[in-house]
Amino acid sequence: MHQVLRKHLPIEGHVAPGFELVRTEFERNFLERGERGAACTIYYRGVKVVDLCGGFRCNESRDPWKPHTLSLGFSVTKGMAAAALAVAHSRGLFELDAPVASYWPEFAQAGKEEITVRQLLSHQAGLISMGRKLTAEDLADHDAMADTLARQRPLWKPGTRHGYHTLTLGWYQSELIRRVDPMGRSLGAYFQDEIATPLGIEFYIGLPDYIDPERLSRIEGFHRYSMLWHLHELPPMMVLSGIWPRSLVSKSIGVLGVNNAAEICTPKYLNVEIPAANGVGQADAAARVYDVLARGGHELGITESTYRELITPAMAPEWGTRDAILKTDTLYGFGFSRPSGGFSFGSDRRAFGCPGAGGSFAMADPTAEIGFAYLTNKMGFRIFDDPREKAVRDACYYSIAGLRHYRAAA
């Protein structure tokens, strides 16, 4: 039966010799794991060894997902934002252990005077809320957003614990960039000029008006209360805490007031900058950024000192690795998720990346020299290690192990 179905699967792309298992697992995602539309790109030692897309850009129209299709990556965007910060750090625009307020004086209010850039980028600042629901019009006004951000009070003592800054992290990163960049660019503009254009990739934080909507994949989301029926796939305490409006979880995930994350894939949200969640691009773009970073970042001008910061194993805050929002063990550094007890990825603790809501994931593995990205338009319920993405990722490592064994034998 699989042979019959496989003939009708709209899958395009290629895999290099030795990576055939990756294609097999990618196909199985559609045949056995309920995938609708997806793309996967893998770089190994600077060479693109996997570049696949399949299924449908839009399940209703049955338009196929093509190589030029762009898809919302949700928090995969955090990794692209972090890459922009790494470039800025390499250019000496800020120091990680300096107070944020030294670059942004208005930040020094409401108990934030001593928060360092490192703490902010490690989800330790406690700035998970905006105090009210934000509209797309709010997000379009960078100056007004800066005022709102500066007025926020930490919801725990900065540096003592960490908790996923679901949406707010990106806006704080963007205002930091605006303050230290001599040209005063927003994070989305900085990313385009300093990463996307030099690498020749398509990934946008704030979708330009000239992008044809027919190129965009349509996200299949779900109402957030649907998570109650998937407690076996999610941290139960995160879901249950999210029901209480005054909980840290609700404050972190409720900033925009959307009940279905797929609402972010509407024009009013795509055309503004949400640097923690609304990046739109190709899997090839995210994988390429991580490929460059995994190999030292020389093509982006990453310095040795910045690279050391990227790959040094993350340290837990004072109260340990328990995430105040995700209710599982996590580690963060420089804006990236790092391997932890709750989410193990890569060859070792030098790896860094960011999972996206619903099943997308992109990462760098410096030890194995891998840049990996998987984007999907059918949202699953896991925070990370979605069975579709993980099957492909595991196949990648299995293939590399086979290549190494073959070379050793030869």
Nearest Cα residue to 383 out of 194, 195, 237: 237
Radius of gyration for the alpha carbons in the chain, expressed in angstroms and rounded? 20
Nearest Cα residue to 123 out of 80, 168, 89, 185: 168
The pLDDT, as a whole number, for residue 232 is: 66
The pLDDT, as a whole number, for residue 243 is: 79
- Residues 370-381, buried b or exposed e (16+ Cβ, 10 A)? bbbbbbbbbbbb
The pLDDT, as a whole number, for residue 406 is: 61
Global pTM value: 0.95
The pLDDT, as a whole number, for residue 327 is: 95
Per-residue pLDDT for the chain (410 aa), expressed as one digit of tens each? 455 445 567 899 999 999 999 999 999 999 999 999 999 999 999 999 999 999 999 888 889 999 999 999 999 999 999 999 999 999 999 999 999 999 999 999 999 999 999 999 999 999 999 989 999 999 999 999 999 999 999 999 999 999 999 999 999 999 999 999 999 999 999 999 999 999 999 999 999 999 999 999 998 866 565 655 555 667 777 777 887 888 999 999 889 978 777 788 889 999 999 999 999 999 999 999 999 999 999 999 999 999 999 999 999 999 999 999 999 999 999 999 999 999 999 999 999 999 999 899 999 999 999 999 999 999 887 889 999 999 999 999 999 998 876 667 66
- Token representation of residue 3: 């042979």
The pLDDT, as a whole number, for residue 262 is: 79
Nearest Cα residue to 271 out of 200, 353, 216, 223: 216
User: Phi then psi for 235, rounded to 5 degrees?
Assistant: -60, 115
Domains identified in the chain and CATH numbers: 2-409 (3.40.710.10)
CA angle, residues 36, 41, 47, in degrees to nearest 5:
165
Task: Give every CB contact of residue 265 below 8 A, 6+ residues apart in sequence.
Answer: 72, 216, 218, 219, 221
The pLDDT, as a whole number, for residue 231 is: 59
